[in-house]
């Protein structure tokens, strides 16, 4: 028999007691380090997420300390036991700077991997000066893979400290393509904002890009386009509404230039329980600004008249029928232009979709021109409020026709590539789901269209017509049957 007091028995019993204890201690230590590692990972991920949102929303990096204070105070009230975890989130200015640089580098690597799979791609280029007169060249890329996956991203933003000639711009574009691994023989089209240093026939950027492509493949021809939204905005200058814009600008400046006038006008709107609470400035560089300001001033014209009477400010245009008719017409036209501009913006749009919107707008201008000429103001509700004279209606009809012709002239590049069968729209419209044209404005003015191949002249013979204006404002006819 083995006695309890023997050494062998004591050693085995101690091992039985100390084994599980050591294992539990080891697991506790491992769990502590794993928990610490998980906590640090969560804090680092939080730091990256907040830094990404700061950069994405163009906020100053100095706001990270304020954000951290908000996080800690919120945690103190909601989950006090997690307050220490929020305090460990690194959000110093230098940390946020490093995070943003890391995110930028990662996005560039992802774009390089995507670019390697492109079968074809196109570029969009824009060169303009910032507030410090430094020229900035923006390069956007859109590519498509063999399985029709489309990628659209900002490829580069290059600062040009010296000259901005076609040679300088080509050097920057070439460096951008080399950095991303874009191949010249896969370039299909280039879109620009129409600057001379970009579109010059002899030494412009586009000429140099075509020469570069020709060196690789003599049969490859690039498709060059002028920015569709930019051309749309330029067409607005044809309307010659300066006499209306000047009056509206004078009214807005009178109200907003002095703080007292502004406060009193806002108080007047509150007393009248107006739909609008204030009036804004017109900013020329913002494309939608003019239409919004005109609409706002028109909606508040009654309150503005009352306010001007109180302040002893005489604005005779607000009581002149002719001026108010022009004002109402400007409100309607700019609203239509803003509607088209909004539809043309955004990611993922194809050229044929934008072309369809433009062509539909052109048809709508002709439709409205004929309606206004016949005193049918169903689709120009603001103009309908003032009951314009026949002379005004004839002039407005001519202006709408002239606007159509201006669109036709400026979008010549789209007509060219359409004639060359480079621009085709897939037939995706289910005609059984559409209403007859007589029922809706969309059917009359916004559907893709084709004009008759020939237009009969006054003598009864068929002749090719063109858009041209004369002394009394007539706008002529269409130049091409497809447009």
**pLDDT surpassing 60 at residue 216:** yes
**pLDDT surpassing 80 at residue 26:** no
Integer Cα distance of 33 and 110 in angstroms: 33
Helix (H) or strand (E) holding 456: strand 455-456
Percent of the chain surpassing pLDDT 90: 5
DSSP-derived secondary structure for 279-295: -----TTSTTHHHHHHH
| pLDDT recorded at residue 450 | 38
The residue behind tokens 């559409």 is 434
Three-state secondary-structure class, residue 157: strand
- Mean pLDDT over 43-66 rounds to 83
| pLDDT recorded at residue 344 | 85
- Which of 148-157, 273-282, 411-420: highest mean pLDDT? 148-157
**pLDDT surpassing 60 at residue 33:** no
**Residues 48, 52, 55, CA angle at the centre, nearest 5°?**
140
More confidently predicted of 240 and 428: 240
**pLDDT surpassing 50 at residue 244:** yes
Q: Which of 82-96, 290-304, 396-410, 411-425 has the lowest mean pLDDT?
A: 411-425
- pLDDT band of residue 133 (cuts 50, 70, 90) is confident
Strands 455-456 and 462-463: antiparallel
Q: Calculate helix-pair angle for 321-344, 351-373, nearest 10 degrees.
A: 160
For residue 197 the two structure tokens come to 């240093």
Q: Give every CB contact of residue 414 below 8 A, 6+ residues apart in sequence.
A: 225, 228, 351, 355, 358, 423
In this structure, are residues 280 and 297 in contact, taking their beta carbons and an 8 Å threshold?
no
H-type alpha helices, 345-389:
351-373, 381-384
DSSP-derived secondary structure for 198-218: HH-TTTSHHHHHHHHHHHH-T
Distance in Å from the first CA to the final CA of the chain: 113
| pLDDT recorded at residue 55 | 85
- Mean pLDDT over 243-255 rounds to 88
| pLDDT recorded at residue 120 | 92
| pLDDT recorded at residue 160 | 85
**pLDDT surpassing 50 at residue 63:** yes
Three-state secondary-structure class, residue 223: strand
**pLDDT surpassing 70 at residue 1:** no
In this structure, are residues 57 and 88 in contact, taking their beta carbons and an 8 Å threshold?
no
Write out pLDDT tens, residues 177-214: 998 889 998 998 888 877 777 777 777 888 888 888 88
User: pTM to 2 decimals?
Assistant: 0.68
Integer Cα distance of 235 and 406 in angstroms: 6
Q: Give every CB contact of residue 344 below 8 A, 6+ residues apart in sequence.
A: 228, 229, 232, 354, 357, 358
Strands 462-463 and 223-226: unpaired
| pLDDT recorded at residue 29 | 62
| pLDDT recorded at residue 263 | 92
Q: What is the mean pLDDT of the chain?
A: 77
- pLDDT band of residue 54 (cuts 50, 70, 90) is confident
| pLDDT recorded at residue 121 | 92
Identify any residues that bridge with 300 across adjacent strands, giving them in sequence order: none
| pLDDT recorded at residue 224 | 84
* Sheet hosting strand 187-192, strand order edge to edge: 150-160, 135-144, 120-129, 187-192, 223-226
**pLDDT surpassing 50 at residue 452:** no
Write out pLDDT tens, residues 326-384: 999 999 998 998 888 888 887 777 888 888 888 888 898 889 999 888 888 888 888 88
| pLDDT recorded at residue 426 | 53
- pLDDT band of residue 163 (cuts 50, 70, 90) is confident
Write out pLDDT tens, residues 274-310: 888 888 887 766 777 888 888 999 998 888 989 888 8
Percent of the chain surpassing pLDDT 70: 78
Q: Which of 98-102, 218-222, 344-348 has the lowest mean pLDDT?
A: 344-348
Write out pLDDT tens, residues 2-20: 444 445 445 555 555 566 7
Helix (H) or strand (E) holding 137: strand 135-144
Q: Give every CB contact of residue 306 below 8 A, 6+ residues apart in sequence.
A: 268
**pLDDT surpassing 70 at residue 445:** no
């Amino acid at each position: 028999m083995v006695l309890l007091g023997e050494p062998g028995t004591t050693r085995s019993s101690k091992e039985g007691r100390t084994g599980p204890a050591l294992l539990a201690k080891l697991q506790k230590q491992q769990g502590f380090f794993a928990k610490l590692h998980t906590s640090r990972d969560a804090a680092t991920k939080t730091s990256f997420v907040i830094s990404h949102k700061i950069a994405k929303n163009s906020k100053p990096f100095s706001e990270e300390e304020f954000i951290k204070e908000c996080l800690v105070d919120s945690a103190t009230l909601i989950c006090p036991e997690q307050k220490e975890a929020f305090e460990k989130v690194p959000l110093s200015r230098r940390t946020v700077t490093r995070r943003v640089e890391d995110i930028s580098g990662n996005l560039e690597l992802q774009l390089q991997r995507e670019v390697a799979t492109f079968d074809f791609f196109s570029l969009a280029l824009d060169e303009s000066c910032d507030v410090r007169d430094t020229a900035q060249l923006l390069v956007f890329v859109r590519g498509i893979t063999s399985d029709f996956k489309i990628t659209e991203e900002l490829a580069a933003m290059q600062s040009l400290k010296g000259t901005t000639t076609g040679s300088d711009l080509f050097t920057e574009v070439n460096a951008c393509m080399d950095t991303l691994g874009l191949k010249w023989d896969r370039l299909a089209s280039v879109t620009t904002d129409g600057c001379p240093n970009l579109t010059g026939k002899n030494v412009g950027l586009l000429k140099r890009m075509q020469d570069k492509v020709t060196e690789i493949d003599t049969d490859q021809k690039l498709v060059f386009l002028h920015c569709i939204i930019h051309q749309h905005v330029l067409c607005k200058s044809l309307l010659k509404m300066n006499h209306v814009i000047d009056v509206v600008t004078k009214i807005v400046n009178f109200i907003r230039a002095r703080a007292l006038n502004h406060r009193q006008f806002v108080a007047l709107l509150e007393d009248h329980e107006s739909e609008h609470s204030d009036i804004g400035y017109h900013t020329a560089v913002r494309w939608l600004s003019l239409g919004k300001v005109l609409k706002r001033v028109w909606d508040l014209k009654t309150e503005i008249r009352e306010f001007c009477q109180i302040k002893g400010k005489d604005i005779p245009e607000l009581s002149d029928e002719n001026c108010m008719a022009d004002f109402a017409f400007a409100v309607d036209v700019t609203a239509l232009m803003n509607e088209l501009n909004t539809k043309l913006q955004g990611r993922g749009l194809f050229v044929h979709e934008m072309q369809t919107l433009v062509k539909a707008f052109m048809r709508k201008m002709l439709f409205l021109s004929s309606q206004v000429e016949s005193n049918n103001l169903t689709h120009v509700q603001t103009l309908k409020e003032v009951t314009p004279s026949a002379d005004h209606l004839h002039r407005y009809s001519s202006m709408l026709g002239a606007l159509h012709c201006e669109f036709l002239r400026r979008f010549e590049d789209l007509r060219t590539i359409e004639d060359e069968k480079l621009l085709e729209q897939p037939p995706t419209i289910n005609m059984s789901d559409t209403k007859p044209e007589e029922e809706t404005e969309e059917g009359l003015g916004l559907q893709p269209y084709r004009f008759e191949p020939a237009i009969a002249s006054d003598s009864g013979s068929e002749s090719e017509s063109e858009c041209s204006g004369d002394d009394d404002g007539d706008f002529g006819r269409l130049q091409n049957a497809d447009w």
